[in-house]
Amino acid sequence: MQAFSCLEIGPIFRALSRNKVSALLIALQIAVTLCIVVNAVHILLERRAQMARDSGIDEANSFYISSTGFAADFNQQVTIQTDLDAIRALPGVKDAMQINAIPISGGGWSMGLQTQPGTEFDGVGTAVYMVDEHVLQTLDLELIAGQPFQDTDIRWRQGTQRDWPAQTIVTKALAENLFPDAQYQDVVGKTVYINDDEPILIQGIVDKLQAPWVGWNRVENAMLSPEKTLFSTSTYIIRTEPGRLDELMPKVEQLLADSNKGRVVRGMRSMNETRERSYRRDQAMIKVLSTVMITLTLVTALGIVGLASFSVNRRRKQIGTRRALGASQGSILRYFMLENFIISSVGVLLGALLSLGLNVVLVESLGLTRLHWYLLPIGMLALCLVGLLAVLGPAKRAAAISPAMATRTV
């Protein structure tokens, strides 16, 4: 085989050089295809990885709902207590609480924490969740160090209040961001400053809780603030027993709507739906890119099939003559496969350069990350295979041409 190939390569090259343009076109197509496919796969893998991140809460069994009072006699504080007592008493509800923002939902509150007081120091950005003593159970958090909130820790926060409770629980990621040199266990008991100089004691560390903004580079930074809010709209997050979410969502909505007519109950949504909405663009991008890659590869493959068929048809007589002169079917097949392989190789080599170039452009203009090196050889190999597969059909038809073709006119 090896020796045979060496014998064949010379004539193939000479034949190719007579059909430079067609060969070059195929090679270019393969190159651009590789360039698109490799970069698309790269973006796709990156998005996948982002979407696979865990928000930290029991998404499958959680949902939330908001209530806005409008009646003149509407009492926010009483309503919240009544609502929470009623929701928690529902069979199938594992736990529930009021919260000011929903993880990964897109809207929330952020603050800066700093380890030294003073306006001249930079803070570390973090999401703020205002929660009560039910937080660990409701959000399915694990307290990996320190103390949980007690009901006596929880205060009421007025709509325009500026100061902060004296203690907080932070995520492990935030603890490590605040004190890069310390073990996270040792961060318990440390004081950090909010609003430049207002001290807060870190009383506990939880394993993981994502911020509301999935595109934020500090999405793992979150702090829990022990307070219930008296804002115009109040949001409850509810965690159900496994599998009872669908049953409980309408029940809770009904309960809230019936218990107090002086408010609007709205915005009920499961965490699954929230995740779907928050990552919708990424999901969409993945699908678009996949479609583009598949159709593009198909177009390139069809182009190869079209040109190969054509070149086989044009050389029918020549192939018949070769067969008549003793070429085996295998050698005709090999001739076309080898021809295609040479073109593909040139294409993928060119494509590798193009891919790196496009990646540099994407990195610089749109802030994407660098290409993983292993995508290139995989892509090159895959496209060579696609090329060989595409040419297989026409090559087989060429091999099947009868030696009698040699004696036919026209």
Partner 1 sequence: MFSYYLRLAYLSIRRNPILSALMVAAIALGIGASMTTITVNYLMSANPIPHKSQQLFYVQVDSWDPNEPAEEPNEPPDQLTWTDATNLMAAQKAPRQAAMASSAAVVEPPDQDAKPFNAGIRLTFSDFFSMFDTPFLYGGPWDAQQDANKEQVVILSRETNDKVFGGENPVGRSLRIAGRQFTVVGVLADWQPVPRFYDVTTGAFHETEELFMPFLLKQALQLPNGGNTSCWKTPEEDSFEGFLRSECVNYQMWVELPDTQTKQDYLTFLTHYVNEQKALGRFPRPLNNRLSDVMQWMENQQVVADDAKVMLWLSLMFLTVCLLNTIGLLLAKFSGKSSEIGLRRAIGASRTALFYQHLVETACIGLAGGIAGLLLALLGLMGISSLYGEFADNLTSLDLNMVVFALLLSLVCSILAGLYPTWRACNIAPASQLKSQ
Which residues contribute to the site for partner 1 (CB under 8 A)? Answer: 21-22, 25-26, 28-29, 32-33, 35-36, 39-40, 43, 68-72, 119-120, 122, 158-163, 195-196, 231-233, 263-264, 266, 277, 280-281, 283-285, 287-289, 291-292, 295-296, 299-300, 302-303, 306-307, 310-311, 313-314, 317, 358, 362, 365-368, 409-410
Q: How far is the CB of 281 from partner 1 (least distance, A)?
A: 6
What is the closest distance, in whole angstroms, from the C-beta atom of residue 11 to partner 1 in the complex?
20
Nearer to partner 1, 288 or 385 (CB): 288
Q: Which C-beta is closer to partner 1: that of 12 or that of 40?
A: 40
Question: What b/e readout covers 3-20, taking b as 16+ CB neighbours within 10 angstroms?
Answer: eeeeeeeeebeeebeeee
Minimum distance from CB of 254 to partner 1 (Å)? Answer: 13
Written as six digits, the tokens of 78 are: 């009483």
Question: Nearest approach, Cβ of 244 to partner 1 (angstroms)?
Answer: 27
CB of 178 vs partner 1, minimal distance in Å: 19
**CA 353, 354, 356: angle at the middle one, nearest 5?**
65
In the complex with partner 1, the residue whose CB is nearer, 29 or 221, is 29
* Residue 120 vs 181, nearer CB to partner 1: 120
Among 249, 303, 302, smallest CA distance to 272 is for 249
Neighbouring residues of 59: CB distance < 8 A, sequence distance ≥ 6: 271, 272, 275
CB closer to partner 1, 143 vs 324? 324
- Cβ nearer to partner 1, comparing 264 with 385: 264
Determine the Cα angle at 352 with ends 347 and 357, to 5°: 125
- Four-CA torsion 223, 84, 237, 164, nearest 10 degrees: -20
Q: What burial class does residue 25 get, using C-beta atoms within 10 Å of its C-beta: 0-12 exposed, 13-18 middle, 19+ buried?
A: middle
Is 142 or 196 the residue whose CB approaches partner 1 more closely?
Answer: 196
By three-state DSSP, how is residue 96 classified?
strand
Q: How far is the CB of 357 from partner 1 (least distance, A)?
A: 11
Q: Are 384 and 295 in contact (CB under 8 A)?
A: no
Residue 1 Cβ vs partner 1, minimum distance, rounded to whole Å? 30
Task: Closer to partner 1 by CB, 263 or 323: give it.
Answer: 263
Give Cα separations from 226 to 34, 100, 190, 208, 349 (angstroms). 54, 11, 17, 17, 60
C-alpha–C-alpha distance, residues 259 and 236, integer Å: 15
- The least distance separating partner 1 from the CB of residue 285, rounded to whole angstroms, comes to 5
DSSP letter assigned to residue 408: -
CA distance 320 to 8: 17
For the bound state, the minimum distance from the C-beta of residue 125 to partner 1, rounded and expressed in Å, comes to 12
Residue 154 to residue 135: CA distance in whole angstroms = 11
Q: Which is nearer to partner 1, 33 or 167 (CB)?
A: 33
Q: Determine phi and psi for 374, rounding to 5 degrees.
A: -75, -15
